[in-house]
Amino acid sequence: MRVLGIETSCDETGIALYDTERGLLAHELYSQIALHAEYGGVVPELASRDHVRKILPLIRGVMARAQVAPEQIEGVAYTAGPGLVGALMVGASVGRSLAYAWGVPAIGVHHMEGHLLAPMLENNPPEFPFVALLVSGGHTQLVKVDGIGRYQLLGESLDDAAGEAFDKAAKMLDLDYPGGPHIARLAQSGRPGRFTFPRPMIDRPGLDFSFSGLKTYTLNTVAEHKQTDGLPDEQTSADIAHAFEEAVVSTLVIKCRRALEATGFERLVIAGGVSANQRLRSELEKALAKIGAGVFYARHEFCTDNGAMIAYAGAQRLAAGQSEGLPINVRPRWPLDSLPPL
């Protein structure tokens, strides 16, 4: 089954064509980072308008690269939530309209299910069951995964998600948006041990997260070492970035190991933008090797929002006979464990 995938949940327009027999045929991604950087975060109205400008040229480009004509497409998948409602409406409206015009089924895909299944696009995909750490945008969740649509939430962030904490810490250090890659880059020149930041909630039972206290601790540390320009010196900023990244990664690793021990599973999937963090990948691999478990993740280009993950997730559900009616429904909030199983 050949499926067109459309992702417009936030600030990236992703388009892809996926074939259930041949795999990923083509994909393109347009990022709005430069558009939103001067505001220090995503401006929803600007995001929606930019999706309108980019979506059709990207669809034409992907179809041309894959040498696929409209009559060869057998289904359309679009992100229906969670996300920014205006941005979601752009992709959903275009996707549902194309499906109607082409006479093929359409399906709204859960954004986080797309991330969760992104490692399935790799040459060595994980087998079910596994535990998934979803760290994307405003989400930090641990999920027990027995199969597609068979999800049980094990723990989640009670306040700031890990990605949000990275963005806010970066802003404290006057780094550009999005903060994660800039914090990680600055942390490379940081000196281990100068600062020791708290690991939130690791001394409590359960698998929930909280990063607001770590954010406050970082803010206070920056304030204590600021100079006349309001910022710490370059080396101190790097040391703070190193300590902050170390604290977030350590917290995530501890919780992931607990989740695997609680479920008895031997496979962990990490997905979402923060899963591209090299320290997180390295520390998880080392920690899980000690308990005989493995970690799986998507290539870097499929860690952030992209059309390939939506095309793949949609193809699985369309192939199983699921589809949407003509009404367009988007869900800014959408619990992952409410999805129907295949």
264-321 pLDDT per residue, tens = 999 999 999 999 999 999 999 999 999 999 999 999 999 999 999 999 999 999 999 9
115 annotated ligand-binding residue: yes
pLDDT digits (tens, 9 = 90+) for 136-147: 878 999 999 999
Is position 31 annotated in a ligand binding site?
A: no
CA-wise closest residue to 67 among 19, 101, 109, 112 = 19
Q: What is the pLDDT of residues 117-173, one digit of tens each?
A: 999 999 999 999 999 999 987 899 999 999 999 999 999 999 999 999 999 999 999
Element holding 168 (H helix, E strand): helix 162-172
pLDDT band at 220 (very low <50, low <70, confident <90, very high): very high
CA distance 187 to 244: 9
Say if residue 76's pLDDT is above 80.
Answer: yes
- Answer yes or no: is 137 a known binding residue: yes
Rounded CA-CA distance 242/98 in Å is 47
Q: In Å, how far are 9, 14, 35, 72, 124 from 108, measured between CA atoms?
A: 12, 15, 27, 20, 27
Give the pLDDT confidence score for residue 152 in this predicted structure.
Answer: 98
Q: Which of 113, 58, 97, 81 is nearest to 10 (CA)?
A: 81
Q: Give the pLDDT mean for 252-260.
A: 98
41 appears as a binding residue in the annotation: no
Q: Is 135 annotated as a binding residue?
A: yes
Is 180 annotated to bind a ligand? Reply is yes
Rounded Cα distance between 96 and 306, Å, is: 18
117 is in an annotated binding site: no
